Structures are given as structure tokens and as C-alpha cells.
Amino acid sequence: MADGVQPPPGEADAPGQEQQEALREAQRALEEAQARLVQSEKMASLGMLVAGIAHEINTPIGAVASMHDTLVRAVARMREVLDHELPGGVDGEPRLTKLLGIIEDANRVIADGTSRVTTIVRRLRSFARLDEAELEGADLNEGLEDTLTLIHHELKHGITVARDFAPLPKVDCFRGRLNQVFLNLLMNARQAITGTGTIELRTWSDDAYVYVSVTDSGVGIAPEHLDRIFEPGFTTKGVGVGTGLGLSICRQIVEEHCGEIWAESVLGQGSTFTLKIPRDVKARHEARRLASIGQNPATGSGSGTAGST
């Protein structure tokens, strides 16, 4: 903008640049705050919607499952009675044998279907947890499974999902928020793959941290873009496809958990996004809170645990 303007000579030049820098920084912060607001508003509505629908489905599917259970037992009992009453048993009556066979096969299919719906509803409710004002201990493997259930229809054609989950210690987290991170990463991985490909989810932990990585065999990220993908509004997707907010939201949520997120990629081969979440988020928050009101945490040594990037 100020390109054509002659810079004032000497020292006056420095504050001008500094101010511009500050202005740019303020604008960036504003854009980021706006992006977060829009996104959290959207996620809250979506969460409420999903929780509502899951609740609505839960009641009728519960009734179906329970009645079906009764039906299965009644058919078994009927077979017993007939076996007892008929001279040659059920097996002596080919038509009856066939009919009972059909009923029992149908019952198996219904049982399988209801149990799948019940699982989906349970995972949806768990995904859409709205009670996230408090940090609570959670197994991140479960969050990943809940998220995979939610986007199953996006992944079922041509995408092979591989899981390499280690048993994880529970970490204090805002479950719904972390699920949003998983969702954004999985959707990006999905969108990076044209035709067929694989998405590999890996989890592991050490003494201090829990890690989650999402690797896709998609288009990859150009080296000159790699530094920019976490900026709010940065997108290489067409209008109406990408908003460029997903990763900036991810970074913000991970930072709320005192963690880190980074990406590695080879253009044309795929990308890996890794999260690193400390196991003691609660303690870190508490230390932060005490520091903000000018008290030293527990030991009073003042060293504490430094917040990560």
C-alpha cells in the first residue's frame, strides 16, 4: 500500500515499519478471533443438532432392540413346543423347518442391524458432548473411533482406514473440542485423496505426552505452503469447498490443551499431521492460573512447566 510513498529519512523510518508490523499482527489476531467465533458457533449448533437427533433415535431403537429380543426368545420357544408336539419333531415337517429357518435368519440380520445403529447412536452422543466446560479424563482412541463413525459415509468409498492404536493413559481434555480436531484432520486427509487411498491413524504415548498422528496418501503439501497451512483463511481448495479455517482451529484447540500440532508432507505422496498433548493438562492450567494471579505453583520454585508453543 505504502509502496509508492517515499519513506521519511533516517530514524523516522523505523517506527513506521514497527507500526505496520503491529497493525498487521493486530489484523491477524482479529481475523483469527473472528474465525474462531464463527467456527465455534457452527460447531456448537452442529453438536446440539447431533445430540438432539441421537437422542431422538435412541428411544425408538431401544424399543426395537428390546422387542426384538422378545421375538427371538418367542421363536426359540415356539421351536421347542413344536418339536415336542409334532410326532416327527420340527425336522419331520420340511415346510415348517424352512419357515422357522427364514424367521431365524431374518432375526439375525435384524439383531446385527439394531446393534450397529445402537453403536452409531452411542458414538454420536459421545462425539457431540456439549458438557465441556471442565477438563475431564478421556481416552483419545475413543475420540478417534467416535469421529470415524461420524464420517464413515465419507470414507467408505475407496479409502482404507488403518488403525495403529496403542493403549493410552487418560488425558485431561475438552473431549468435544479434541474430537473437532480429529474431524478437521480426517476431513482434510479425505479431501487430499482423489480416487482411492489410505488414511492411517496412529496413537502412542510416553511419560509426559500422548500423541496422535493422521497420515494420508493424498496429494501432499507444497513446501512453500507448509508454513502457511495453519494461518486462518489459508486454503488451496476451491470457493465453497475450503474455508481455510480448519487447521487454524485445530492449532488453537491444541494450544488450549498446552500441546503442539505440526505437519510433514511430501508433495505427491501424502501428509502426516501429528498432535502432542501433555498428560497433565489440568496441572498446567492450574500452574498457568496461579502464575496469572502472581502465585508460584506448589513448590514456589517458580520454574514450573513452561507452556509449549
Ligand X SMILES: Nc1ncnc2c1ncn2[C@@H]1O[C@H](COP(=O)(O)OP(=O)(O)O)[C@@H](O)[C@H]1O
How would you classify the pairing of strands 270-278 and 260-266?
antiparallel
The C-alpha torsion from 117 through 123 and 124 to 125, rounded to 10°, is 110
Q: Which of 246, 259, 270, 278 binds Mg ion (CB under 5 A)?
A: 246
- Enumerate residues 6+ apart whose C-beta is below 8 A from 154: 187, 190
Rounded distance, CA 309 to CA 307, Å? Answer: 7
247 binds ligand X (CB under 6 A): yes
N- to C-terminal Cα separation, the chain: 32
Cα angle: 131, vertex 137, 138; to 5 degrees: 85
Contact flag: residue 232 with Mg ion (CB under 5 A): no
- 218 near Mg ion, judged by CB under 5 A: no
216 binds ligand X (CB under 6 A): yes
Look up residue 218 and give its DSSP letter. S
CB of 171 to ligand X, least distance (A): 23
287 is an interface residue for ligand X by CB under 6 A: no
Count of residues in contact with ligand X, rule CB under 6 A: 22
Using CB under 5 A, which of the segments 24-32, 242-250, 269-277, 279-287 binds Mg ion? 242-250
Site for Mg ion in 136-195 (CB under 5 A): 188
In angstroms, the CA 155 to CA 27 distance is 37
Contact of residue 243 among ligand X, Mg ion, none (CB under 5-8 Å per partner type): ligand X
Question: In this complex, which beta carbon is closest to Mg ion, that of residue 47 or of residue 246?
Answer: 246
- DSSP code for 94: H
Question: CB neighbours (10 Å) of residue 14?
Answer: 11
By C-beta, is 188 or 215 nearer to Mg ion? 188
Based on the shown chain and the rule CB under 6 A, indicate whether residue 189 belongs to the binding site for ligand X.
yes
Residues 6+ apart with CB under 8 A from 156: none
One-letter amino acid for residue 84 of the chain:
H
Partner touching 183 among Mg ion, ligand X, none, CB below 5 to 8 Å by kind: none
- Residue (171 or 181) nearer to Mg ion, CB: 181
Which part of the chain contacts ligand X (CB under 6 A), choosing from 65-73, 128-136, 167-175, 233-241?
A: 233-241
Residues that bind ligand X (CB under 6 A): 184, 188-189, 192, 216, 218-221, 229, 234-237, 242-248, 271
